[in-house]
Chain A
Amino acid sequence: MHIMEGFLPLQWAVFWWLIALPCLVYGVYRLKKVMDADREALPLLGVTGGFIFILSSLKLPSVTGSCSHPTGTGLSAICFGPWITSVVCAIVLLFQALFLAHGGLSVLGANVVSMGIVGPLAGYAVYRALRETRVNMFLTVFLACALADMFTYITTSLELALAYPAEVEGVGSSFVLFMGIFAITQVPLAIVEGVVLALVFKYIVQLKPDILLRMNVFPEEKINAARDDT
């Protein structure tokens, strides 16, 4: 899913950087507040970042100038909100470019917008909408993670379509084509990612629920009820 170095023309690379930067600045502001308030957030943020790095390195080839892989951003969006997640993602994407030659530097802005901003925002919106309802907690996590993954790909398709519109019907046609090619690998992958992250969440609820309670990720009753069930 990461767009490769050199794939986007200069004007589009700059355009996506300009969209990503204000979000990152706001994310840094939120990050500072969280780190000042709770020193213990640093190791958790580190682990979340490390996990996003590992999960999004499990890549399968896809036809559209990039590849399919899980993103792992949903869980971070639930725990820390979408803005801090965007900063974590930007760091992870920089590491991936420099450790694995996966992604790139000029296209970092575009990759941050798709994986660090739009995906987590979508996941976070689902989580906020379902948090106070009677919907099962693990189902909420599943939906948030799977949708964060799907929206990342929709955004990437849009970025590619805008840069390379089709001759007939322009951006719309190439967007549908890019989406169609991605969907083959990405829909099953998003579902698997949702299931895996929901199970990871379940594991955390069982073994280390205190951090979830302290960060008020879910209401206490829900977490306690889930612990009693298992």
Chain B
Amino acid sequence: MYEELLEDIAQTNGLREVNTYLKLVTGLGAILLCLLSTSFIAPLFIAVLLSGAIILLARVEARTYAELFIVPFWFAAMSVLVIILLSGGSEVYWSWNPFSWLSISISRESLNEGIFVFCRVIGGMSALIFIALTTPMTDLFIVMRRCRIPDAVLDLTMMIYRTIFMIMHLLVQTYQAQVMRLGYSSFRESIVSFSTLCGSVFIASWDAGEDLVRAMDARCYAGKFALLGETGPANCYSLAAVGLFLLVSSVIVVITRNIVMI
């Protein structure tokens, strides 16, 4: 809960001033190419290139980036194991039938399928983390308004964005006060303390939210937050780099479509 939000890094990263649309096209394009690919090579290629961009261009510390990958990496490995055991195939290496409705096996096809899904998750996650680490949410609000997302939704989005930080701040303060008074010394105690924590933070942040709306009302808020629509211009070099990245990745998706690991 107290982990550093990617947003904090995004606000100070090396690609902060690059055109928002360009970064979004890179990330979303990479996700789409990973999904379109039928071989493990293209997602891996995308993951390596985007990781390079995150570490070298956005100047995110390699250690921070690696830590970000630990959890998805672990999840992906575990779930791919389930897929390998379930999906079956013709060239079976090992199999077991514990129940009539369940058969577990490892085959060449299922290993290939597992490796492919694993690489796709790694490619997709690196593209997602690329967007998360290079594009602050405040820039995305501007894009959302340009994309004609209804004002009610956009206002709610910004309200939730603001509330998340408010809640985190209050949570940490109240939680520390509870721990100081042995609020989490037993399981029963923990449930009661956690509920009081949630309840009091809920009401406190709600009050803060009401104050915020009242303050905005006093400044002529009429159901639409004003936004400064500033984003850096797309220069030729970055445009060419993104174009080249997507082109090369697409070519790799096409030429490697029939390649399997084993």
Contact = CB atoms under 8 A, between A and B. Distances in A.
Interface of A: 4-7, 9-10, 13, 28, 31-32, 35, 39-40, 42-47, 49-51, 53-55, 57-58, 61, 63-67, 87-88, 91-92, 94-95, 97-101, 104-106, 164-169, 172-174, 176-178, 181, 192, 195-197, 199-200, 202-204, 207-208
A35 B28 CA distance: 32
Contact of B200 (A46, A50, A64, A203): A203
B199 interface: yes
B164 A54 contact: yes
Given A49-B163, A50-B166, A203-B199, A196 B102 contact: no
Interface stretch (B55-63, B189-197, B241-249): B189-197
A54 to B, nearest CB: 6
A6 B163 contact: no
The binding surface of chain A is classed by DSSP as helix
Contacts of B164: 49-50, 53-54, 95, 99
B75 A67 contact: yes
B78 interface: yes
Contact of A91 (B72, B156, B167, B191): B156
Interface in B191-212: 191-192, 194-196, 198-200, 202-203, 205-206, 209-210, 212
B145 interface: no
Contacts of B191: 192, 195-196, 199
Contacts of B81: 63
A203 B195 contact: yes
B35 A106 contact: yes
B86 A87 contact: no
Given A40-B213, A99-B7, A167-B86, A46 B35 contact: no
B176 interface: no
A163 to B, nearest CB: 9
Nearest to B140: A98
A63 B196 CA distance: 31
Given A46-B162, A91-B153, A101-B72, A7 B79 contact: yes
Contact of B167 (A43, A54, A66, A106): A54
Contacts of B155: 35, 42
B3 interface: yes
Contact of B156 (A31, A57, A67, A178): A31
Interface in B135-184: 135, 137, 140, 150, 152-153, 155-157, 159-164, 166-168, 171
A50 B160 contact: yes
Contact of A61 (B78, B124, B212, B213): B78
Interface residues of B, number: 80
Sorted nearest first, the 3 A-B pairs with minimum C-beta distance are A6-B124, A167-B88, A43-B209
A99 B7 CA distance: 6
B64 to A, nearest CB: 12
A51 B83 CA distance: 33
Contacts of A203: 195-196, 199-200, 202-203
Given A101-B132, A167-B88, A65 B79 contact: yes
B120 interface: yes
A101 B129 contact: yes
A99 B165 CA distance: 12
B218 to A, nearest CB: 13
A196 B198 contact: yes
B82 A54 contact: no
Interface string B218-253: 000001000000000000000000000000000000
Contacts of A174: 86
22 contacts: A6-B117, A31-B156, A35-B152, A40-B210, A40-B213, A44-B206, A50-B167, A50-B205, A53-B160, A61-B71, A61-B74, A61-B78, A64-B78, A91-B157, A98-B140, A99-B7, A104-B124, A105-B128, A173-B103, A196-B195, A199-B196, A203-B200
